[in-house]
Structure 1
Amino acid sequence: MDTNGIPSRLRAADTDRERIASLIQAAGGEGRLTLEEVEDRLSAVYSIKYTDELATLTSDLPKPAPKRRQAAFGHPAVRVHLAVAVVLSVLLIVRWTVSEVPFFWPAMPMFWLAMSVLVHACVRGARRRFEREDGFAVA
């Protein structure tokens, strides 16, 4: 144990072993490891007790690319909604410049257009998270 009471070596959990095993299997599928190397490393994965020993099995393999976050306006329906809101906002501003009203009256309709696009993007993002996590299809 170190001075903080935390063990210097942590025992590997099943999830740690499964994560390393999936990395080794992916490397074998990509052709980075031969079938014998994959079998040897997988048998070693399930016999290892500590997490620091697991890292040595994948030290010569490239690190997996980090997962990219979904863009807030990534769904095609949200993009169409955004385009319509921008066109309407431009038309409102043009109408305001033609009329000789001293105050900027398009601010309120543009605010509600922006809010509708924002809510649409949030709802679509929540649906995607729900579909990925639970595996249910949402229409």
Structure 2
Amino acid sequence: MDTNGIPSRLRAADADRERVASLIQAAGGEGRLTLEEVEDRLSAVYSTKYTDELATLTSDLPKPAPRRRPVVFGHRAVRIHLAVAVALSVLLIVRWVASGVPFFWPAMPMFWLAMSVLVHARVRGARRRFKPEDGFAVA
């Protein structure tokens, strides 16, 4: 045990073994490992007890690229649309405060402004994922 009370060697869970096994199988599919190496490493994966032993089985393989989350408001046109919607919302709230009406009537226009920005972001995101070389699907 270390000073924090955490064991220095952690036992590997089945999920840990499966994750490492999928990395080894992917490396074999890419041609980075021979069939014999894949079989040897997979048998070693399923016989390991500790996570540090699992790490040594994939230390010579490249790390998978981290998945990037899509940026919702990444496109310049969507950011401009959002800025205009916020400016209009502020103007609507100022007008409501100045009018003295007890009912918050800017709620509905602000809702539709927010919906327009979200739909615009969704459409831009769909366009970004589509590549012209993908072609068109005709049913």
Q: Please tell me the TM-score bracket, short chain as reference.
A: 0.5 to 0.7
Find the counterpart in structure 2 of residue 26 from structure 1: 26
Identity %: 69
SS across alignment from 1:72 = coil
Unpaired segments ≥5 residues, structure 2: 93-108, 124-139
How many residue pairs were aligned?
Answer: 101
Find the counterpart in structure 2 of residue 59 from structure 1: 59
What CA deviation, in whole Å up to 9, does each residue of 1:40-87 have, x standing for no partner?
00000000000000000000000000001123158xxxx8xx5xx95x
With the length of structure 1 as denominator, give the TM-score of the two structures. 0.58
Asked if the contact 2:73–2:121 (Cα under 8 Å) also holds between the matched residues in 1, the reply is: no
- After superposition, residues 73-88 of structure 1 pair within 5 angstroms as none
Deviates more, 1:111-120 or 1:64-73: 111-120
- After superposition, residues 41-120 of structure 1 pair within 5 angstroms as 41-72=41-72, 108=92, 114-120=113-119
Unpaired segments ≥5 residues, structure 1: 90-103, 125-139
Asked if the contact 1:21–1:42 (Cα under 8 Å) also holds between the matched residues in 2, the reply is: yes
With the length of structure 2 as denominator, give the TM-score of the two structures. 0.58
Find the counterpart in structure 2 of residue 36 from structure 1: 36
Distance in 2 (alpha carbons) for counterparts of 1:71 and 1:34: 39
Asked if the contact 1:72–1:121 (Cα under 8 Å) also holds between the matched residues in 2, the reply is: no
